[in-house]
Amino acid sequence: MVEEAPAGPPESEVSIETLQLRIRQQEILADFGVLALKGTPFAELLDQGARLAAEGLKAEFAKVLKFMPEENRFLVCAGVGWGPGVVGHATVGADMASLGGYALKTGKPVISNHLDIEERFRTPELLVEYGIHRAMNVILQNDHSPYGVLEVDSRLEDEFVAADIVFLQGLGNILGMAIERQRMERDLRQAVERQQLLIKEVNHRVNNSLSIVASMLHLHSSVAESSDVRLELHEASSRIAAIARAHQRLYKSDRIDTLDLGAYLTEVCTDLDASMPDCEVRVVVEEGIEIRTDRAIPAILLVNELITNAAKYAYPAGDCRVWVTLTRVQRETVVISVRDEGVGLPPTFDIKSGRRLGMRLVDTFSQQLQAHLQILRKNPGTEFILALPLKAPSQDG
């Protein structure tokens, strides 16, 4: 126990060698602190902790003992100096009659410089087997229950002194805090993963519900008496199905908050192409354009309106073809073009004064995205060009 640790020689008689060792111990503490803060992988951190503990105390052996409360024993989970089959396998008792158990339960460092004549503690088999003469233990404390203890062992006929405890406890404190930090990071990662699963599940359910609503409207349209009502219900059903399709892609990808716009556009256009047997949709996109999901959805719904219109109006004689492209024009701006080679817009066409829903949705989504929509009358056909900022101008990061 601390009180019984030899104080070592008086200051005036401290040898150069001892002073050098104390300086080395300081360096080790500083280096280990950096290692711990850098987020070194857990197993490596434990190994380094044991290695540096042995080095700083000129001992041949050191180990990290992980407490296993169900068995009231320690597992040697990292260490130096030990032969095969010890690290990761060997266990030692953690009761109050053991050095480690005492350190763990009282929180006080323990030194035994003469294990062969030790009366306070039982010498563990492992130490007997390796001919260990002296040992020193400190607790690895964290905010919750302690992780275990850090132990240094030596066969050499020397003594651990009070100043050695300061070093070992310093190392133990850094290790304890690093273990705690890594535990918290692990918990956080798990919480984020759970959250993402939950969002995927919610997206899945939203998609199912939208599909049900679309089918209900479709059914409703088929029994409506008036042809106008039938048409309106059919259009509403198609729009909801388009939203469902856009959603479906979201919970199938790994990410939640951002997506690859090119890949998303391709998938949604491919779905649309499959749902319109009379019209071919050709897509050419640049890959690797990341956009937030909440911006991608209105952009996709806007494109959906434009493609549907081309299929409905541009080719009265059939042979419908629509070209969709996505190009990055600046670092933060992309252009989506939807083009057909059909009959062209009616002369009276005006996006702002139209009374139908489709173009009003296009206009609204475009404003919501703070994008710029250009409509080109071509010969033949029409091209809609949407200049879309990847981030909303007010959106940070």
Among 33, 146, 344, 358, contact with Mg ion (rule: CB under 5 A) = 358
- Are the beta carbons of 84 and 55 closer than 8 angstroms? no
Q: Which is nearer to ligand ATP, 21 or 236 (CB)?
A: 236
Task: Confirm if 306 and 345 have CB atoms less than 8 A apart.
Answer: no
| Shortest Å distance, C-beta 338 to Mg ion | 12
- Determine, following the binding rule CB under 5 A, whether residue 48 of this chain makes contact with Mg ion: no
Does residue 214 bind ligand ATP (CB under 6 A)? no
354 binds Mg ion (CB under 5 A): no
Query: Is there binding between residue 345 and ligand ATP (CB under 6 A)?
Result: yes
Q: Name the residue with the smallest CB distance to ligand ATP.
A: 358
Residue 340 site contact among ligand ATP, Mg ion, none (CB < 5 to 8 Å, cut-off depends on kind): ligand ATP
For Mg ion, give the closer residue by CB, 196 or 238: 238
Report in angstroms how near the CB of residue 311 gets to ligand ATP at its nearest: 8
State the CB neighbour count (10 A cutoff) for residue 251: 17
Residue 358 binds to ligand ATP (criterion: CB under 6 A): yes
Least distance in Å: CB of 296 to ligand ATP?
21
Subset of 259-298 contacting ligand ATP (CB under 6 A):
none
Q: Which is nearer to ligand ATP, 130 or 313 (CB)?
A: 313
Contact segment (CB under 5 A) with Mg ion among 70-78, 169-177, 304-312, 365-373 equals 304-312
- Of Mg ion, ligand ATP, none, which one sits near residue 220, judging by CB under 5 to 8 A according to partner kind? none
CB of 289 to ligand ATP, least distance (A): 25
Contacts of 257 (CB under 8 A, 6+ apart): 292, 293
Q: Which of residues 226-255 bind ligand ATP (CB under 6 A)?
A: 235
Please give the Cα distance from 222 to 179 (Å, whole number). Answer: 65
One of 340, 365, 369, 371 touching ligand ATP (CB under 6 A): 340
Taking CB under 5 A as the criterion, the residue among 207, 248, 309, 382 binding Mg ion is: 309
Verify binding: residue 352, ligand ATP, rule CB under 6 A: no
- Least CB distance from residue 380 to Mg ion, whole Å? 20
Q: Where do contacts with ligand ATP occur on this chain (CB under 6 A)?
A: 235, 305, 309-310, 312-314, 340, 342-343, 345-346, 349, 354, 356-359, 382
Q: Where do contacts with Mg ion occur on this chain (CB under 5 A)?
A: 309, 358
